Amino acid sequence: MAAAQAPLRAISRRDTFTVALGALVLAAWAALWLWERSPYGRYLNHAELGGLAHAATADAVLAQSALYVGGWLLMTIAMMLPTTLPLLDAFRRMTALRDDRRRLLALVIASYLGVWLAAGAAMHLFDFGLHEAFERFAWLQSNPWLFGAAPLLLAGAFQFSDLKHRCLERCRAPIGFVIQHWLGGSPALQSLAIGAHHGLFCVGCCWALMLLMFAVGTGSIGWMLALGAVMAIEKNLSWGRRLSAPLGIALLLWGGAIALPPLIA
């Protein structure tokens, strides 16, 4: 009887895990949707950074930056956490018999999101620097097309890079990744390390596509859905490998269409 009930318990735990993760992701999407439509929706948009340099006090700069980074964290949960479902499920199954399995899984998720939060803060500072440069240099003010074309051309070129494909290969083998990084020692530290290492590879393969959010508007729910779906397909579906090159060509053509008219005028 006990042997017969074991598969049922395993299915029940898997269903609970899927529902809990889905609820977290849906809550992030709902929060972003509500935030976008609130009086504070402008803080999700990178264009708001243009006024940070001229804010009255340092506190105003820090407050607006904190709101923006908070929005980035929500965006990461909504867009990137679903792409880690195979890895999280592999880790859940490996630790299914442990009493502390929920805490260890939470540590994996927290460290993964922590890496993306650090990446978002770095992108935020980079975008802030671009706005500062725009205010200082007349050439940039007379060539605003550069801010739309450059992220598209960069993301398109990165689709063909070795770094992109090496990072994707690590993300596409979640079971091997978990086994490789579960080295013994402190389970808590190992869980943090698994989440952080996977986060680094995830940033490595997806940072250029996430950078597009600065070109199309980080507060756009539609673009979040589209880019999140693209990254999930690239990482997790068997035919995702065939998407990289056509997507890269499309992004290069899009960026070229923006850049070419001003260059030949």
| Per-residue pLDDT in tens (0 to 9) along the chain, 265 residues | 444 444 545 556 667 888 888 899 999 999 888 887 877 666 666 555 555 555 556 676 677 777 777 888 888 999 899 999 999 999 999 998 889 999 999 999 999 999 999 998 888 788 778 877 888 888 888 888 888 889 999 999 999 999 999 999 988 888 888 988 888 789 999 999 999 999 999 999 999 998 887 666 555 778 888 888 999 999 888 888 889 999 999 999 999 999 888 878 6
Q: Which residue has the tokens 């393969």?
A: 205
**Can you list the alpha helix ranges (DSSP code H) found in the chain?**
2-36, 58-79, 85-94, 101-136, 138-141, 145-158, 162-171, 174-181, 187-216, 221-236, 244-264
Six-digit token pair at 107? 């540590």
What is the 8-class DSSP label of residue 97? T
pTM of the entire predicted model? 0.85
* Segment holding 145, helix H or strand E: helix 145-158
Phi-psi region of 27 (alpha: psi -120 to 50; beta: other; left: phi over 0): alpha
